[in-house]
Amino acid sequence: MRIDIISAVPELLESPLSYSIVGRAIKKGLVEIEVHNLRKYGLGPRKNIDDYSYGGDAGMVLMVEPVYKMIEELSAQRHYDEVIYLSPDGERLNQAISNELSLKENIILLCGHYKGIDHRIREHLVTREISVGDYVVSGGEIPAALLADSIVRLIPGALTDETSALSDSFQDDLLSPPVYTRPAEFNGWKVPEVLLSGNPKLIRAWQDEMALERTRTLRPELLKD
C-alpha cells in the first residue's frame, strides 16, 4: 500500500509517521508513506501557496494551482483509488472507513491549512472528504496522521499479533471490554477472577458481556445503529 500526503507544513508529520506501529510497518515494507511539500509548486519567488479569499472573508486560502500540479504529478506515476481531503465537514471517520481504506492500493491525503482550500479542488480533484470530528484544528496534518495510523495498523503484518485488531473497539460495533495485566492484585485492586480461570469459554462470555455493558453505558447510540 502507498499513502501520499500533501501538506503545507510537512514537518508536522515527521514524528507521527516515524515511530511505533506506523514506523515499523514502513521499515518492514508493508506500506510506503511519502509526504510532499506543497510549496514545491508554490507561485512566484516566494513559492506562495495561499491567497486572500474572494468575497472579503478573513483568513488565507490554499490556491488551486499548486494543489492541481502536485496531484497531477503524483497521478502521472500511479493510479490512486482515492484523493481524500481532511475536512471538518466530511464524512465522520469510523472503523468501517479505516477497514475499507486499508484494502486500497494507493491513496492521497490532502491536508488543508489556514482557512481551507479553494473549493474548485474539492469539486474537481478530491474524490472523498473525511472528518475526524466536529471541531476545527489548525490544519489537516494531525487528522491525516490519525487517519494514516488507523489504516496502517490494519495491514497484515503491521501488528505483532494480527488478531489484536479484531478485538479493538468498534470492530464489531461495540466498545472493547476491560483489559488487565500483572500483577493480579495491586493496592487491594483485583483482576476479575474469570480472567484468571484459564477457561476460554467463560472468559469470552465475560468479555462479550462487558463489551455490551460498556457500550450500553458509554455509547448507547452504537446499539441503536
pLDDT in tens, 175-219: 989 999 999 999 999 999 999 999 999 999 999 999 999 999 999
Residue-level pLDDT at 91: 97
* Average pLDDT of span 142-160: 95
In a shared domain, residues 88 and 197: no
CA distances from residue 207 to 59, 90, 196, 213 in whole angstroms, order as listed: 50, 34, 13, 10
pTM of the model: 0.88
In a shared domain, residues 148 and 174: no
Domain that holds residue 200: 169-224
Q: Which residues pair with 113 in a beta bridge?
A: 139
- Looking at 112, 127, 152, which one is the last position of a domain? 152
In a shared domain, residues 148 and 173: no
- Looking at 152, 179, 202, which one is the last position of a domain? 152
Instruction: Please check whether residue 158 lies inside any domain of the structure.
Output: no
Dihedral Cα 84, 90, 96, 100, nearest 10 deg: -20
What's the CA gap between 167 and 157, in Å, rounded? 16
| pLDDT classification of 160: cutoffs 50, 70, 90 | confident
In a shared domain, residues 191 and 99: no
Q: How many residues does the chain have?
A: 225
H/E run at residue 102 = none
Looking at the structure of the chain, the number of domains it has is: 2
Grid cell 472528504 — which residue? 129
What's the CA gap between 91 and 113, in Å, rounded? 19
The mean predicted confidence, pLDDT, of the chain is 93
In a shared domain, residues 72 and 173: no
In a shared domain, residues 27 and 138: yes
In a shared domain, residues 189 and 147: no
Q: Closest Cα partner for 87 from 54, 34, 130?
A: 130
* Average pLDDT of span 82-96: 96
- Looking at 152, 184, 200, which one is the last position of a domain? 152
Residues 6+ apart with CB under 8 A from 107: 2, 3, 4, 80, 81, 82, 83, 84, 101
In a shared domain, residues 196 and 130: no
CA distances from residue 18 to 27, 105, 121, 142 in whole angstroms, order as listed: 9, 21, 29, 14
In a shared domain, residues 185 and 75: no
Instruction: Please check whether residue 161 lies inside any domain of the structure.
Output: no
Instruction: Please check whether residue 163 lies inside any domain of the structure.
Output: no
Residue 36 belongs to domain with CATH number: 3.40.1280.10
SS3 118: coil
Instruction: Please check whether residue 71 lies inside any domain of the structure.
Output: yes
Grid cell 490544519 — which residue? 139
